[in-house]
Structure 1
């Protein structure tokens, strides 16, 4: 009994002496008080992290520090901190943390958005940039136009299935752009597979959800052990991703061999493989990974933005009327919008910007990692620290956006008496620094053409209950993304009578 007591006492004494001898000569970054050994383990949120992070911002300021089991975590809650660290010092903060759960156990090492910074990531990034850079994005306009036509047709027949129609819209653009695959209907195998893939990605990438990321030794626990659910989830995800990566690539390669392949990422990159400087096998693997991330990430992001748009139109019919007046003035009553009309539709542009700000696609950006010791003001950020950009806090900062909880597209319209507020697309919607989303111009165009076309063809109103009364639609602050689960049941699309 005496020996363990002595050992524990010596360990605690050593920790105390270490803190006294090696006391830092700089102030600690503020944050919730940690517990001994486990640090802030019980403070870390497992879901809806932006809510807790924003609460911390109000308590501790623009930069908040927590740690657990030796891992330091910093949350950036201001534009200044994000711009200074993740943008201006991107050479230091472009790495990603290595997720034991997501990459090692689930097998997501192919995901470009999770790859650690280096030559392998740069090659994948180059493949994506060549296909989706702003200068060449108009090559995909016909794909987006065709998908929008199908979306309108689906809304005419079944307006209450809006969420399913949006998923098909965004999935069809991703599949055609990446693989040249034309999706048939909402029950298409590729859509079902893609939805499962994205769900596994969301599960695996949620910060602080899996204890194995905090205690990596747990990876050796057998799958049959009670509580080892992560092993069973990982096995299913790995099998699902394998199918998703191989099946559409095989389809695209077969089309290339028969000379029937349309212009898409796979056809463009495989046909130019000799210019890559890589062996054909390695280059094809990189193309497979790049196309896979377009397909996995492309569906839910666009459809979520459109869902938020519908919610905003239900809550703000006055915005809808003003947008339709602009559309009728520019297009008349016969023609639907095209990308060539975009410069002449500033209010539609403002609606899209406000949708992306009001309900951001990714409220918390994927974590960056400090590649070396760094200093921000009086604070020292140690090498290996995980750095999160709290996009939700930035996009609802009252110092940047007046009345941030109010949906008001006019904030982005320039006039003789008003300077436009910061466009969220230039702030944090698509990520930060060198890790900004390479498909952002494709997503931007898809969301814009869908918003413009829906407003030109439909009046959007609340659904009617069993007694013929409009169903009340409301929302709670900090809770907007939760509406993605049931807005579909609140909205009817009524074809406009022009």
Structure 2
């Protein structure tokens, strides 16, 4: 054997020919494998060790992803710290992943934030049959409460819209930022809907003030740009940040528990007063069922999800609405005209939505233009799944670039222009075919459970404020900037307006 091997190696010509043949076979096999294998991963840009592509995300990752889409297509791979990820773009591909193959792409990444909040919440929780049932419970409670015969929601929002108008009027026509007033009133609505009405919550309820402050800080930490999520060892480098967010979360959670305990003392099952009462019925049902996997803590955590999701989403959208209508006085005048024609001096009601086509078109255009959740919260593959001819392995982070829909030139023509008329048909009615193109509340299994409630609140706040106010640009501002701050949502940079009563 040894002699035969020695003789073979000594034969130079034979060895060279064999090497060439071997290389050609390898190259051929590689080509065939690349063409036929089903476990290919999407192409993508190179990152750096440890951090992956994170240093190149920039201040607006959705814009960076649009540029990468031009090079790599609708699906490409990136590395986020220690997590492999893909970015998907375009209406058709995002719909295929989140709707047609929704169960396969409805997981959540194992981010560090999840270990703090817990895997049994609706927003950050693990995707499972329990999650699906939990979401149905939450939706049913919201729907029943929002559609109750004695619905307090319209009155609560109407009162808070009046408070915002009053705060604006106190500025006596001078330039001011509306963001704090909007944030406080949106928070007041959510707090009262979850825990019960209060006649003067802004001034008399100290618990609400603590809740307002801590929720804002917690949302800022939980923003999707937080590097600690994908580089968990940073918690050892900056332990004070971890201890701060844990403390904030526990304080917000503690307020929720306190309010639930207070409501339990006076709860009447047949007459729910707020969402905490409604969820109490679900808790009792779960406790009476020996096979139920739901604990009281899990069901009541729904309140945390609604508070967290609703706060930033609604306040950011309203801030964009006020900025865009101040910057576009022609649009504002059309909104005023429709409000006067349909409402007159009476307070807006939900039933008015069907008659206020221009106002609804304007709200849709605000949501599209602002795109406050441009990359949504990251999903994760729950199993190995084929997408666009690539195999996406279980656990891979999936980032739907919703901005690629809201600002697609093929869909909108001029996506960088604020133009509410794009949502109206030839008769000036709201065009459902257009409104269905882009949904700011995402799609599929992880679609926001409180979408209908958020749309309700946006309409009533928007019409309630514009019914009473004329918004103008301060003299010292030549043109508004529509730059934004990227966080859990995308909010406008700080701006000022002037307001006068109509």
Which TM-score band (shorter chain)? Answer: 0.7 to 0.9
Superposition deviation, residue 218 in structure 1: 6.2
Contact 1:96 1:115 in 2 (8 A): yes
Whether 1:30 aligns to 2:48 is no
Change (3 A) 1:60 1:476: farther
Determine which of 379, 383, 396 is the counterpart of 1:385: 396
Aligned residue number for residue 180 of structure 1:
196
Unaligned runs of 5+ in 1: 1-18, 464-468
Superposition deviation, residue 391 in structure 1: 1.5
Unaligned runs of 5+ in 2: 1-28, 170-175
Aligned residue number for residue 210 of structure 2:
192
Change (3 A) 1:400 1:34: same
Whether 1:213 aligns to 2:230 is yes
Contact 1:198 1:296 in 2 (8 A): no
Whether 1:113 aligns to 2:123 is yes
* SS of residue matched to 1:286: helix
Determine which of 478, 490, 497 is the counterpart of 1:491: 497
1:134-213, aligned counterparts within 5 Å?
137-139=146-148, 142-159=152-169, 160=176, 162-182=178-198, 184-186=200-202, 188=205, 189-207=207-225, 209-210=227-228, 213=230
Q: Which moved more, 1:276-285 or 1:180-189?
A: 276-285
Superposition deviation, residue 485 in structure 1: 4.3
Superposition deviation, residue 186 in structure 1: 3.6
* Residues 456-476 of structure 1: CA deviation (Å, up to 9, x unaligned): 22111123xxxxx35334225
1:300-315, aligned counterparts within 5 Å?
300-315=312-327
Aligned residue number for residue 451 of structure 2:
440
The structure with more radius of gyration = 2
Whether 1:51 aligns to 2:63 is yes
1:370-449, aligned counterparts within 5 Å?
370-415=381-426, 420=431, 423=434, 427-449=438-460
Superposition deviation, residue 414 in structure 1: 1.0
* Residues 73-94 of structure 1: CA deviation (Å, up to 9, x unaligned): 1111211110011111112111
Superposition deviation, residue 193 in structure 1: 1.8
1:9-408, aligned counterparts within 5 Å?
25=37, 28-35=41-48, 38=50, 40-43=52-55, 45=57, 47-68=59-80, 71-99=83-111, 101-104=112-115, 106-133=116-143, 137-139=146-148, 142-159=152-169, 160=176, 162-182=178-198, 184-186=200-202, 188=205, 189-207=207-225, 209-210=227-228, 213-214=230-231, 216=232, 221=236, 227-256=238-267, 263-271=273-281, 273-276=283-286, 277-278=288-289, 283-332=295-344, 334-408=345-419
* Residues 121-170 of structure 1: CA deviation (Å, up to 9, x unaligned): 2343122111223x763338532333223322442344446322212222
Superposition deviation, residue 368 in structure 1: 1.3
Superposition deviation, residue 272 in structure 1: 5.3
* SS of residue matched to 1:256: coil
Distance 2:182 2:80 in 1: 40
Contact 1:166 1:303 in 2 (8 A): yes
Distance 1:380 1:301 in 2: 33
